[in-house]
Amino acid sequence: MQITLEVDKCIGSGSCEMLAPEVFEVGEDGLAELLDATPGSEMESKCRAAEESCPTQAISVEV
Amino acid sequence: MKEIVVVGASLAGLRICQNLRRANFEGNLTLVGAEKHLPYDRPPLSKTMLSSEQDPGELTLVSDSELAELNLNLILGSPATRLDTAARAVTVGDEKIFYDGLIIATGARARKLLKTDDMDGIHTLRTIEDSLAIRSALHSSSSVVIVGAGFIGSEVAAAARHHGCEVSIIEAGGAPLMRGLGLEVGSACGQLHESHGVNLRVGVQVQDFYGSQTVEEVQLSDGSRIAADLVVVGVGATPNTEWLNDSGLTIDDGVVCDASLNAGIPGVYAAGDVARVPNQWMGGGPLRTEHWTTATEHAALAAKNLLQPADSTPYDSVPFVWSDQYEDRIQIAGDTGGFDEVSFLIGSGDEEAFVVGYRKGEHLAGVMALNSMRPFVQYRRLLMARGQWSQALDLAQEMDG
Ligand SMILES: Cc1cc2nc3c(=O)[nH]c(=O)nc-3n(C[C@H](O)[C@H](O)[C@H](O)COP(=O)(O)OP(=O)(O)OC[C@H]3O[C@@H](n4cnc5c(N)ncnc54)[C@H](O)[C@@H]3O)c2cc1C
Ligand code: SF4
């Protein structure tokens, strides 16, 4: 799975790190960071939930 | 469960369907929407759609391939007109759609002022059509009057300044965003407008509109008149519940739900702007929120609780909302209403960046941050941990140093 994060769209809602903390973290600067850009397929459900919960569509998940 | 019907095909409705399918619901799934568009995103309607020539197609929340995978019975451009909870049926046009499970996600619509339908040039903003109409009017307008300094009014004011229009904001309260943030912080937000050349008039109301066919002047309660060739009214939203009037559900400023989002009848749930739901984190009674993240959180929870009622989870979340005005970003988390104390944790009201804390009892209840993404994340985490006010003060000192 390939996760893309367009960090300039991030508004620091924290939704992604709440739903998939293994993959996303909001860093010191208040913006989301990818901890793992290519997580295994067992993470798909959590990553999809994060993608759908991002208020500015900064996250995309490709399988 | 074999048949699920979701009414309202916007953010909450779409997210409900996505969550149901992800939870392996394989039965028939019907999504009914009054608008003719595929579910689309509203926040850009008052932001990038107005400040640029963004194509509304970019706002669609679902790709064609994903839509095909969701395998929906999608009915667009046709509102549900009645709910019969005894027969478990929703009326759409001449058809009755029967359900085992129902989720109501009909959202809210912009509140209008009396008489505003009689005259051209007076708009509200809730849909793609509204946004396109305002965008086109901004190109040809010189004097814009915004009624109501809430988030939407404030964002439209910023866009109108971007187009070079003269802009006045008429706000009945003592300051912009006062209902949500209090007078002191609202006044600081007012400075954003004034520093961008907006004529901000607080504590006055619009009394009348003058013009032949198109609006020309706005009459205020203090007797003054302001020239206007475009008026945008942003005075809040009303939940879309009329179609539920004889359903037997409790309707009181939205569909009243318990903490699991259940609307009082087994198998019937509500989510998003239409739902009035207690939030465990906030404590207290049911609340109606008009926040993007609340709609998605409700959607996920309503889908889960509908499929597994025996294992219901209550709604429990730190509210979050953001707003982009001019080059500035506002972020708000937690509860910023009904506080015991409000104080600037970082910076002050005259600065271009600050963080305000709201205290309730011994606890930090909410924060509002202007251009302060870095401290905001720390405070959001403190709110999630139900942190003490003293911790909020310590954090401010650490970050100042
Ligand atoms: C201009 C604007 C800017 C915003 N900016 C922000 C922001 O910056 N940050 C933020 O957090 N939130 C923002 N919001 C709020 C956010 O968009 C809403 O919270 C969100 O849209 C709620 O989604 P919903 O699906 O519950 O309701 P809605 O988006 O209101 O959707 C409800 C849908 O149901 C349809 N419907 C109504 N009645 C019926 C019926 N009887 N049958 C079938 N369909 C029906 C409606 O036509 C609509 O399509 C903004 C809203 C607007 C309008
Ligand atoms: S969900 Fe989106 S906006 Fe929120 S922190 Fe993650 S990337 Fe940023």
Residue B90 is inside which H or E element, if any? strand B89-92
Strand arrangement, sheet containing B225-227? B206-210, B217-220, B225-227
Structure tokens given for B387: 């942190």
Terminal CA-to-CA distance of chain A, rounded, Å?
4
Atom of ligand 1 nearest to the CA of B290: 19
Q: Long-range contacts made by residues B34-37, C-beta under 8 angstroms, separation at least 24?
A: B34/B8, B34/B9, B34/B77, B34/B78, B34/B79, B34/B80, B34/B106, B35/B9, B35/B10, B35/B76, B35/B77, B35/B127, B36/B76, B36/B77, B37/B76, B37/B128
Query: Looking at chain A, how many residues does it have?
Result: 63
CB-neighbour burial class of residue A57 (10 A; exposed 0-12, middle 13-18, buried 19+): middle
pLDDT at res. B401:
59
Single-letter amino acid code for the residue at B167? V
What chain B holds in terms of domains, given with CATH numbers, is 3-109+238-311 (3.50.50.60), 112-233 (3.50.50.60), 327-400 (3.30.390.30)
The reply to whether residue A11 touches residue B376, judged by beta carbons under 8 angstroms, is no
Q: Do the Cβ atoms of B293 and A57 come within 8 Å?
A: no
Handedness of CA A38, A39, A45, A51 (dihedral sign): negative
pLDDT band at residue B117 under the 50/70/90 scheme: confident
Provide the pLDDT confidence category of residue A8 given band limits of 50, 70 and 90: very high
- Nearest by CB to residue A12, choosing from B296, B300, B377, is B377
Interchain CB distance below 8 Å, B329 and A30: no
Chain A closest-CA separation from residue B111 CA (Å): 24
Closest Cα in chain B, distance from residue A45 (Å): 7
For residue A52, give the chain B residue with the closest CA: B15
Predicted pLDDT at A31: 96
- Tell me, yes or no, if the pTM score tops 0.90: yes
Quickly count: other Cβ atoms within 10 Å of residue B93's Cβ.
12
Q: What does DSSP say about strands A24-26 and A32-34: parallel, antiparallel, or unpaired?
A: antiparallel
pLDDT for A45 equals 96
How many whole angstroms separate alpha carbon B25 and alpha carbon B20?
5
Domain boundaries, chain A: 2-62
Q: Report which secondary-structure segment, H or E, holds B210.
A: strand B206-210
A55 touches chain B (CB under 8 A): yes
Q: How far is the CA of B10 from the centre of ligand 1 (A)?
A: 6
Q: How far is B214 from chain A (nearest CA, A)?
A: 36
* Model confidence pLDDT, tens digit, residues B316-374: 999 999 999 999 999 999 999 889 999 999 999 889 999 999 999 999 999 999 999 99
All residues of chain A having their beta carbon less than 8 Å from the beta carbon of residue B375 are 30
How far, in Å, is the centroid of ligand 2 from the Cα of B120?
39
User: Is residue A9 within 8 angstroms of chain B, CB to CB?
Assistant: no
Partner-chain residue, chosen from B22, B296, B322, that has the shortest CB–CB distance to A53? B296
Cross-chain Cβ contact A30/B292 below 8 Å: no
DSSP state of B183: H
CB within 8 Å: B296 and A28: no
Sign of CA dihedral B96, B99, B104, B106: negative
| Cβ contact A29–B374 (<8 Å) | yes
What ipTM was assigned to the predicted interfaces of this complex?
Answer: 0.96
* Strands (E) located in A1-63: 2-5, 24-26, 32-34, 59-62
Mean per-residue pLDDT of chain B: 96
Nearest CA to ligand 2 atom 8: A10
B320 touches chain A (CB under 8 A): yes
Residue B168 predicted with pLDDT over 90: yes
The yes-or-no verdict on residue A32 having pLDDT over 70 is yes
pLDDT in tens, B52-106: 999 999 999 999 999 999 999 999 999 999 999 999 999 999 999 999 999 999 9
Interacting residues of B5 by C-beta distance below 8 A, sequence separation 6+: B30, B32, B90, B97, B99, B101, B102, B103
Query: pLDDT for B224-257, tens place per residue?
Result: 999 999 999 999 999 999 999 999 999 999 999 9
Tell if the CB–CB gap between A48 and B18 is shorter than 8 Å: yes
CATH architecture of A2-62: 2-Layer Sandwich (3.30)
pLDDT band at B193 (very low <50, low <70, confident <90, very high): very high
Mutate to test the interface with B, among A6, A9, A11, A56 (most CBs of B within 10 A): A11
Task: Return the closest-CA partner of residue B143 out of B159, B124, B164.
Answer: B164
Q: What is residue B179's predicted lDDT score, i.e. its pLDDT? A: 85
If you count them, how many residues does chain B have? 401
- Which of A6, A8, A26, A61 should be mutated for ligand 2, with most atoms under 8 A from CB? A26
Token duo for residue B21: 């399918």
**CA-based nearest residue in chain B for residue A19:** B297
Determine contact: B18 vs chain A, CB below 8 A.
yes
Q: Given this model, what pLDDT does residue B133 score?
A: 97
Residues of B in contact with A48 (CB under 8 A): 18, 22
Nearest ligand atom owner, CA of A12: 2
Determine the average pLDDT of the residues in B155-183: 95
**Nearest ligand to the C-alpha atom of residue B93:** 1
Alpha helices in B261-400 (DSSP H): 292-307, 373-384, 389-400
Per-residue confidence (pLDDT) for residue B68, from 0 to 100: 98
Helix ranges (H only) for chain A are: 15-19, 44-53
Res. B8: pLDDT tops 80: yes
Whether chain B has a CB inside 8 Å of the CB on A62: the answer is: no
- Ligand 2: does its nearest atom lie under 6 Å from the Cβ of A56? yes
Count H helices, E strands: chain B?
Answer: 10, 26
**Residues of A with Cβ-Cβ distance to B380 under 8 angstroms:** 12, 14
Least confident of B104-108, B110-114, B265-269: B110-114
Chain-chain contact of B15 with A52 (C-beta, under 8 angstroms):
yes
The token pair that represents B29 in the structure block: 């799934």
